[in-house]
Amino acid sequence: MKVAVTTAVILIAVAAGAGGYWIGAGNRPAGEAPAAAAATAAAPASGPKILYYRNPMGLPDTSPVPKKDQMGMDYIAVYEGGAEPGSGAEGEVQISTAKVQKLGVRTEPVSRRVIERAVVAAGRIEPDERRMYAIAPKFEGYVERLLVNVTGQPVAKGQALFEVYSPELVSAQREYAIAMSGVQALAGAGDETVTAMKRLAEASLARLRNWDISDDQLRALEGSGPVRRTVTFRSPVSGIVTTRKALQGMRFMPGETLYEVSDLSAVWVIADVFEQDIAAVRNGAKANVRINAYPDKVFRGTVTYVYPTLNAATRTIPVRIELANPGQLLKPAMFAQVELAAGSATRVLAVPESAVIDSGTRRIVLVATGEGRFEPRTVRTGARSAEFIEILEGVDEGDTVVVTANFLIDAESNLKAAIGSLTAAPGAAPGSAATPAPGQGAAAGVGHRASGKVDSVDPRTKTVSLAHGPVATLKWPAMTMEFQVANEALLPALRPGAAVDFEFVERQPGEWVITSVKPAAGRN
């Protein structure tokens, strides 16, 4: 009797529960039950609070409740303490601290510094045009005697070069001598007569001076000395005879250049600067000049003039540099390699050149936001030197940027998908740049594991040849291939003949990089 009563009570309770469930389901809006069930299944029993759900393909699409994308993939939960909704932080790259150490990641703070760059150009040595002198008699005559008869001969200032004979010059000397004698003879005559004779003597003297007769010869004529048949021409400057047209006994006409003397104690370098670099070159800029004949010497000069004309054939603009030439090591027409200091002395915001990833259409840096967390930022760059790049926009002073292993982070964490999420249009279809290539066992850039035997190691290029077994994540068969190593610390474990277990990533298409290595388990 008691068993029958107990059985009846249980049946009544089950019926009541089923009826209540049926009634509640009938009053609930359509579709609510599955969403609630999915939310209950997705939410963890304990732990961080779920903020929202993001698109698994990196598209800029979030949802407050769990759902699937067009390919049937579940949206990924974003927990409290991670990316915050609406802040753009969903593009952050997160890598474990151990993996960061394996990749050899190094960071530096963004700071202000002077961007020093060099414009490189080819040039040639030329004489200083202001130190070139021509000796050209101003009267007609004949070369009576050559005192310097070799081109290239060094001469001192005032050194005699040649002697000339000119009937016209002899007549002018006699006129001057007669006029001076008349002045002396009429010393006691009337003022007008003496004044007229002095004017005649002064005119004769001016004529001789205009013909470059030396003061010594003029003083000799004033003393009623004998008229000289020849006149000696001397070098106006210390230098090198660069041109000698005078020949013994030749006739010359007024203004004909017989000698050229160049002072080579200072020379010019004419550098041909390409059109795109000319805006960085300023008067007063310092220049380093190297000559093939003296590879161990650097000649330092100063830019004194930027020519206003462009060579249309070579698209270059001449730039003049002045150089001291002690010992006359620099010869005219020598070729020179020129480095011109460019840029300003203003301190600007800059990062090391290795910190910038240039995709061709935009430039990106990775900003460290916490342990193992990196945020890709698009930057606008300015001037650059051999080591640093000016940042005009995108980061602030004090931000910490990654300067080594940027591409390894890219490969390790599928950075391309994260960056694509920053600019992809809403509702972009699958198969965009962020979509993994079909047929791959793992997303592009995810680490893969394999075991193998080291064939050879090249420490100089950090290249290792490995005979490895099959790689399931890439559907590779066993083969022998070359790998790069992420840093030199991995090389000691990669000795030829060693059996190893290793992890690797694809840094860029076709380039595989070993990120960690250890001796193979159970093998020598």
Distance CA 419, CA 435 (A): 12
CA of residue 185 relative to chain centroid, distance: 82
Highest mean pLDDT among 174-188, 246-260, 383-397, 404-418: 246-260
* pLDDT at residue 184 is higher than 60: yes
Cβ count within 10 A of residue 508: 11
State both tokens at 248: 């013994």
- pLDDT band of residue 61 (cuts 50, 70, 90) is confident
Q: Which of 273-277, 365-369, 430-434 has the lowest mean pLDDT?
A: 430-434
| Domain ranges, ordered by start, for the chain | 1-30, 41-88, 93-115+346-423, 137-256, 269-342, 448-519
- pLDDT band of residue 335 (cuts 50, 70, 90) is very high
Residue 227 per-residue DSSP state: P
Please, are residues 95 and 409 in contact by the beta-carbon 8 Å criterion?
yes
Nearest to residue 338, comparing CAs of 279, 276, 268?
268
* pLDDT at residue 21 is higher than 60: no
- Counted residue by residue, the chain has a size of 524
Regarding predicted confidence, which is higher, 67 or 437?
67
Quick one: pLDDT at residue 508?
A: 75
* pLDDT at residue 69 is higher than 90: no
Distance CA 213, CA 205 (A): 9
* Sign of the Cα pseudo-torsion (426, 431, 433, 435, in order): positive
Quick one: pLDDT at residue 202?
A: 80
3-class DSSP assignment, residue 306 = strand
3-class DSSP assignment, residue 195 = helix
Strand partners, 262: 132, 240
State both tokens at 485: 């190593």
Q: 437-470, pLDDT tens digit by residue?
A: 333 333 344 578 899 999 999 988 889 999 999 9
Distance CA 106, CA 458 (A): 24
* pLDDT at residue 28 is higher than 50: no
Distance CA 430, CA 382 (A): 36
Q: What is the CATH number of domain 93-115+346-423?
A: 2.40.420.20
Average pLDDT over residues 19-25: 41
Quick one: pLDDT at residue 65?
A: 86
- pLDDT band of residue 300 (cuts 50, 70, 90) is very high
Q: 103-153, pLDDT tens digit by residue?
A: 778 888 888 887 777 888 999 999 999 999 999 998 899 999 999 989 989
Question: Which option is the CATH number for 269-342: 3.40.50.12160, 2.40.50.140, 2.40.30.170, 1.10.340.30?
Answer: 2.40.30.170
Distance CA 170, CA 187 (A): 26
* pLDDT at residue 524 is higher than 70: no
Please, are residues 416 and 460 in contact by the beta-carbon 8 Å criterion?
no
Mean of the per-residue pLDDT values for the chain? 77
Strand partners, 388: 352
Q: Which of 39-43, 207-211, 341-345 has the lowest mean pLDDT?
A: 39-43
Q: Which residues contact 262 (CB under 8 A, 6 or more apart)?
A: 127, 128, 131, 132, 133, 239, 240, 242, 332
Q: Which fold has domain 448-519?
A: OB fold (Dihydrolipoamide Acetyltransferase, E2P) (2.40.50)
CA distances from 387 to 113, 116, 356, 396, 397 (A): 11, 9, 11, 19, 18
Cβ count within 10 A of residue 165: 16
Quick one: pLDDT at residue 85?
A: 40
Highest mean pLDDT among 57-66, 306-315, 417-426, 467-476: 306-315
Quick one: pLDDT at residue 343?
A: 65
Highest mean pLDDT among 77-91, 203-217, 295-309: 295-309
* pLDDT at residue 162 is higher than 90: yes
Quick one: pLDDT at residue 43?
A: 45
Regarding predicted confidence, which is higher, 270 or 490?
270
Distance CA 99, CA 44 (A): 27
* pLDDT at residue 394 is higher than 60: yes
* pLDDT at residue 416 is higher than 80: no
* pLDDT at residue 253 is higher than 80: yes
Burial 33-48 (b: 16+ CB within 10 A, else e): eeeeeeeeeeeeeeee
Distance CA 426, CA 431 (A): 14
Average pLDDT over residues 311-328: 92
* pLDDT at residue 182 is higher than 60: yes
